[in-house]
């Protein structure tokens, strides 16, 4: 059975947030989703999350600022997403300690690969359910 994770998703685009929630939920993961940084900070104080997926441009603060505020409460591996971030902003995200930076429009295969690497790095587990068991050894010896 695959590991189950709790994911904090912060994306202000309603349709993308819905799509990503569905995608993450299809992995068997619990998703806490919001479009607002302030609500995300409240959520992180109420529930335990294993990692986060943050939009760069949010109302009130950037995903980078949110990541830094979350780290003061509980360090959390994170992937940052943006369609508008400048090269300087992308570099700042890397220096801040984001696990990955993904450009929008998101490529779900790239997102899946990034999530797989994050899980292997931080939790030592696979993204997908384990392979089926090997066939039994030959009967009789």
Dump pLDDT digits (tens) for 49-70.
999 999 999 999 999 999 999 9
Q: What is the pLDDT of residue 2?
A: 59
pLDDT for 94: 86
Closest CA to 13 of 83, 95, 85, 79: 83
Cβ neighbours for 101, distance < 8 A, ≥ 6 positions apart: 79, 80, 81, 82, 85, 90, 93, 94
Positions of the chain with pLDDT under 70: 1-2, 125-141
CA distance 96 to 16: 25
CA dihedral (30, 32, 33, 37) in degrees, to 10, reads -150
What pLDDT, on a 0 to 100 scale, did the predictor assign at position 93?
86
Tell me yes or no: is domain 7-123 CATH 3.40.50.2300.
yes
For the entire predicted model, the pTM comes to 0.86
pLDDT number for residue 85: 79
Residue 130 has what pLDDT?
Answer: 40
Which tokens go with 33? 């989703």
Domain boundaries, the chain: 7-123
> Where does 1-141 have alpha helices with state H?
14-25, 37-46, 63-73, 87-96, 108-123
* pLDDT number for residue 136: 47
């Amino acid at each position: 059975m695959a590991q189950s994770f709790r994911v904090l998703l912060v994306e202000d685009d309603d349709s993308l947030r819905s799509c990503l929630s569905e995608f993450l939920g299809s992995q068997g993961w619990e998703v806490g989703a919001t479009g607002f940084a302030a609500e995300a900070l409240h959520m992180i104080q109420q529930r335990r999350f294993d990692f986060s997926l943050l939009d760069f441009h949010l109302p009130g603060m950037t995903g980078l600022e949110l990541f830094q505020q979350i780290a003061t409460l509980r360090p959390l591996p994170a992937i940052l997403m943006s369609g508008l971030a400048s090269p300087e902003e992308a570099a700042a995200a890397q220096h801040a300690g984001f696990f990955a930076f993904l450009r929008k429009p998101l490529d779900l295969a790239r997102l899946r690969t990034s999530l797989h690497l994050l899980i292997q790095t931080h939790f030592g587990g696979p993204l997908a359910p384990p392979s089926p068991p090997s066939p039994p050894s030959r009967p009789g010896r």
